[in-house]
Structure 1
């Protein structure tokens, strides 16, 4: 079954086992020979290819989801990037995630230049950088006039030779590994939340290679190196993002002046390979298709499709009972390829059967992940670094997200987190009634209000369902409900999952707020995007002794 979000295993990045070295390309004239006065175009181009590959130095400062009013200690990383026409630099999104400073260095220089992150595409794991210093671009402007900068190439065929260029660790120098194209298919991106086209290769991709170009024999860039498989599970399996996905990312920015993301079809489905299943839904032996099992409430697809529909065609392309469509010569690929080739807001036409009748309709595609209750990434990560939170009477409330699960339960969060939260992570969807987030009671600070609650793990990381009998739709809604309570309300009654209740005195919660903020070094009782921060406390840390 194809979902917009598949089961995510924590990405591991150990060095894969090295294969026998491939024959390297000749990158320079041997010292025993005199260089030709007019080098051939291929020799000049290859040297420029190497010059176009940069080393990225990034300082990261990640949000602290366990203490959302603080940040984690900064860390540093190195990765790879490359220059494309238009004074643009491409790398991976995960290479500059939560960046505070980004610098790039050329292979023949020790000068590091400040770079700005122009756009981040988390779904496709691509980031666009820019350097303002004109000195950095001088020689590349000359290359551009000669048409010698890296240019995109076609999707490789199976067994086509490829080379990965970058700055893998350990080591400081530019490195090159070689291999062949092993497979082309839809793949779950480790940094994203859905499946996009990816190319499997057997060239080594090590830490530090992320963001570097993958080139073909014609010295064309055919993709961006981005992830590999733990060698304990498979030998010499690496992946790169094909340039068709890169083009989608760049076209999206050009069209909309910002990155809007990849689309989601709006429904979940199952295969119809079983004869009796097809018979039960009135399908003829000559027809094929997929069975709709769920339609998101908050997307345009719900206007057209219903659970139990059998979709036979998308944009006129026939869908097999296994959910695949034709792809290149003699190959087939998951139908998500057709959907993700479009843009959010584009129109998708569908042909389907319902109660034995054929229908042809169309609807507008929504953004991947826009319907989900649990976000994989902070939607405002480019403008905002602090997680949203609300503190009330020593109770700390946050929204459920993958970064929160990872912070609290570690890299094995898929297996350590409560089943109810994992179920919401996979299948939780926004509703027309207004629920758009899962609000959690994440911790209870020790105060007079919370005596009896604060030491009991039963109350930690629990789903908040209602406040004084009113459903809680999201964290902003919780803050609004707290503000809108009549002045004569005495108790704040938080109804949690599993029929658990936490009650605190409203007046005591307000009176203790300043002391709570001072004691726990919390700058403000609330931090909410697009909302003026409520500041009651003075933000100073003072001893309670």
Structure 2
């Protein structure tokens, strides 16, 4: 992945506030988003000629555009999905609120934003997860209506950046038409992006072609899944809207490439169907599968000779395996994976995909259901083996995202302890090396000191911010809850903490305990710990006869 790839999600394009200059983009300091595109927005029908399009673009309301679309369609021709989109694509209004990264007991300023969505079968609305992430309010407005209807987030999949909305009002559903999912479009296939981007309040359509189909790291979740690159203009506010091919949906608009014109990305229908099927079966989003290992490509002849590969063999060599995965029980370091489910893996880790196209083998894994099995052909010390491995989602040591829930924290002696996450790494601008680490056992976390709340008790320790706490009184720290218990249950006069880089913190336990209360009161911090760390209150009510 190129270091220069600056991706932005494209839902929240401006804030409804008179204090802001109209049209200016408001940046979120915890996730700066860039955008650059000069491509014009075309409010026009699929089948109209260039002259008719120009006539429509001149002083035309959206109602006249809709009528023009109907008039330009050939008699007897089947109505296209673009026409149906007028009664399917909606504008989504959200109010969101999230906790601060470095003061997890506080909320950031409330944020108002907009995105797009569209109706699918079953009286549901599909949109992007990043449109409704950390929401406190979601409302939807359909085309031609001044009314905003309250919506409820029925299911959300942050990995695939998709969400399903429910609306109880029968009035909303009157005249609404569901759109149907289609196939993955071919290269150079024409597509149309429909939604409510910046620059206006009414529905808009932009036209383009498919540039490439490949796996992409989704910026919302840092999960690598199939994506389609198109050159149609995708602007802030388009997120969650459908991308139409023919009379069906080819994908959902969700990202654009920062500082580049005419490079947008859509979530393809296989990923959408995987999400919808999981929600239908379980009632909630189910994580995408991973083979849970790191590997090296085998493009060097000498490397292949070293692992005793014949001339007709291709594959990848295993470097590390996640101990929590089923692969760990079967595979070994330096095994060469030759094929998955009978599909040969190239020395560049790709497999055949459609007509003379190739795609990384991880796509085959990600499209499997949890606990579904994969047949791996493996070369081990010059001999071939076949292993059937159960694939399941495994939590990462460092979570890639944290949405829709309050963060965990613990304060003692002015030291603020938090579990390390990718959002924290991004905001603190610290090394991303920890992202490659794998857990040794379930529930493991990397606990760090996020900041030092100044007090005499912690004088000289301010240089230890962002360092990992390895041990408390000689006991290895497993996670934040474990650290909390070790400190709260300390029965020694001194509290010693071993940090990374061989640093040590020593505190007088009783003095640090008193200092904690003083610091909390001084800084008006409501609690020394997040709710998930607080001891559960026992039900002490007695039955009276």
Shorter chain as denominator, the TM-score bin is 0.7 to 0.9
- 1:469 matched to 2:474: yes
Count of residues in correspondence between the two structures: 496
Aligned residue in 1 for 2:272: 246
Q: Distance in 2 between matches of 1:197 and 1:299?
A: 23
1:263 partner SS? coil
Aligned residue in 2 for 1:343: 369
Match of 1:59 among 77, 95, 105: 95
Shift of 1:137: 1.3
Q: Distance in 1 between matches of 2:426 and 2:290?
A: 25
1:139 partner SS? coil
Shift of 1:406: 3.4
Aligned residue in 2 for 1:135: 171
CA contact (8 A) 1:290 1:310 kept: yes
1:404 partner SS? helix
CA change 1:177–1:35 in 2 (3 A) is: closer
| Deviation per residue, 1:405-459 (Å, 9 max, x gap) | 334x3xxx3xxx2x3xx1102x121113x67211011112223422343xx4x12
Aligned residue in 2 for 1:375: 399
1:350 partner SS? strand
Aligned residue in 2 for 1:527: 530
1:262 partner SS? coil
- TM-score normalised to the size of structure 2? 0.86
Q: Distance in 1 between matches of 2:496 and 2:150?
A: 51
Aligned residue in 2 for 1:447: 455
Aligned residue in 1 for 2:386: 360
Q: Distance in 1 between matches of 2:75 and 2:87?
A: 16
Q: Distance in 2 between matches of 1:452 and 1:533?
A: 35
CA contact (8 A) 1:312 1:318 kept: yes
CA contact (8 A) 2:179 2:248 kept: yes
1:282-301 equivalences under 5 Å are 282-301=308-327
CA change 1:136–1:124 in 2 (3 A) is: same
Aligned residue in 2 for 1:431: 440
CA change 1:34–1:244 in 2 (3 A) is: closer
Q: Distance in 1 between matches of 2:98 and 2:443?
A: 27
CA change 1:10–1:354 in 2 (3 A) is: same
Shift of 1:211: 0.5
| Deviation per residue, 1:216-253 (Å, 9 max, x gap) | 12x211110011112x3x43111100111100001111
CA contact (8 A) 1:181 1:201 kept: yes
Q: Distance in 1 between matches of 2:357 and 2:118?
A: 31
- 1:228 matched to 2:256: yes
- TM-score normalised to the size of structure 1? 0.86
| Deviation per residue, 1:51-76 (Å, 9 max, x gap) | 20000111110111211111111011
The Cα RMSD (Å) is: 2.6
Shift of 1:203: 0.4
| Deviation per residue, 1:285-322 (Å, 9 max, x gap) | 11111111111111111011111001111111111111
Aligned residue in 1 for 2:422: 402
1:269-308 equivalences under 5 Å are 269-308=295-334
Shift of 1:39: 7.9
Shift of 1:529: 2.7
Aligned residue in 2 for 1:156: 185
CA contact (8 A) 2:7 2:256 kept: no
Shift of 1:111: 0.4
Shift of 1:528: 4.7
Match of 1:89 among 122, 125, 141: 125
CA change 1:176–1:20 in 2 (3 A) is: closer
Aligned residue in 1 for 2:293: 267
Q: Distance in 2 between matches of 1:138 and 1:162?
A: 28
Q: Distance in 2 between matches of 1:96 and 1:436?
A: 29
1:26-175 equivalences under 5 Å are 26=48, 28-30=66-68, 40=76, 42-43=78-79, 46-140=82-176, 143=177, 149-175=178-204
Match of 2:346 among 320, 326, 336: 320
CA change 1:450–1:493 in 2 (3 A) is: same
- 1:482 matched to 2:487: yes
Q: Distance in 2 between matches of 1:177 and 1:118?
A: 29
Q: Distance in 1 between matches of 2:190 and 2:339?
A: 35
CA contact (8 A) 1:13 1:207 kept: no
Q: Distance in 2 between matches of 1:460 and 1:500?
A: 12
Q: Distance in 2 between matches of 1:299 and 1:7?
A: 32
2:137 partner SS? strand
| Deviation per residue, 1:27-84 (Å, 9 max, x gap) | 54449x9999x98563485432222000011111011121111111101111100010
Aligned residue in 1 for 2:60: none
1:245 partner SS? helix
Q: Distance in 1 between matches of 2:4 and 2:440?
A: 23
2:94 partner SS? strand
